[in-house]
Amino acid sequence: MAKYWENLKYHEDTVVKEKLSNDDIKFLKELQKELNTEDNVGTATPRYWVIRQPERIYHIDRDAADYYMFVDDDYQELTLEELKNYLEDVYDDNLKSVDIKDGVLTFEYLNEFSEEIERYTIDFNNLPLESSYSVDKVLELLELEVDVVYYKEVDATVDNCMFLTQIDAENHLRANDYHYHEEARTYCMCGWRSPRFERLINILSKTDFDSMLEKN
């Protein structure tokens, strides 16, 4: 069952009220045009825009995870190059080679029982189950230095971002792209069963703002 507040708290309204200036009205008129002419992308009114991007959910069981990564003892994610450096520092004569090619780390290890060279690959694009044999070998060789973390990626709405128009959302994303995932994008949503928001958008869309302008 949903949880909600029985008694909402209010305080005195101390905001000084001002008459709309011509600049305010011109701003509202420009906003109105944007609201009324932008692509609705098949979304019902009242519309608003958010930023969506992939978000990682960590500590998933290996058989349910989509991805995996290695971390050091400070829990910092390791690149393939950093993982390669760790393996190259291992004092084990059975570790014969370590190489990276086309985004895949490969290493060869001599199995003393079979006396055969075994080949292992670490490819972060593979599903964890497909790489489990190689992952386990890395953990065996680097058990005190690195650990593996399994995770999923889900498409999530970014917190604390809401825009009345797509152009505002796009401008925000362009100006702040360094804060976001490389696959972040603007996304249109509907304020479903939100009567006050719906009425506000309706007022913004239909008001004759020209009639409110003061003539000089």
pLDDT tens track for 121-148: 999 988 888 889 999 999 999 998 999 9
Calculate mean pLDDT across residues 23-38.
Answer: 97
Looking at the structure, tell me whether residues 182 and 95 fall in a common domain.
no
The domain boundary residue, chosen from 126, 153, 180: 153
Question: Is residue 216 scored above 70 in pLDDT?
Answer: no
pLDDT at 192: 96
Is residue 126 in a domain? Answer: yes
121 bridge partner residues: 106
Judge contact between 188 and 40, C-beta under 8 A.
Answer: yes
Shared domain for 116 and 140, answered yes or no, is yes
Evaluate whether residue 64 is within a structural domain. yes
Between the CA atoms of 134, 140, 143 and 146, what dihedral angle is there, to the nearest 10 degrees?
Answer: -10
pLDDT of 129: 85
Residue 207 within a domain: yes
Q: Which distant-in-sequence residues (6+ apart) come within 8 Å of 110 by Cβ?
A: 93, 94, 95, 96, 116, 117, 118
Portion of the chain with pLDDT greater than 90, in percent: 91
Is residue 73 included in any domain, yes or no? yes
* Same domain, residue pair 101 and 138: yes
Flag whether pLDDT at 186 surpasses 90: yes
Give the end of a domain, one of 153, 172, 201.
Answer: 153
Question: pTM for this one?
Answer: 0.79
What domain range is 48 assigned to?
A: 40-56+160-212
Q: Residue 173 domain-assigned?
A: yes
Residue 162 has pLDDT above 80, yes or no: yes
Q: Which residues of 176-214 are buried (b: 16+ CB within 10 A; e: fewer)?
A: eeeebbeebebbbeebeeeeebbeebeebeeeebeeeee
- The single residue listed with the structure tokens 């003892």 is 73
Query: Is 168 a member of any domain?
Result: yes
Number of domains observed in the structure of the chain = 2
The residue-averaged pLDDT of 189-212 equals: 96
Can you give the pLDDT at residue 214? Answer: 79
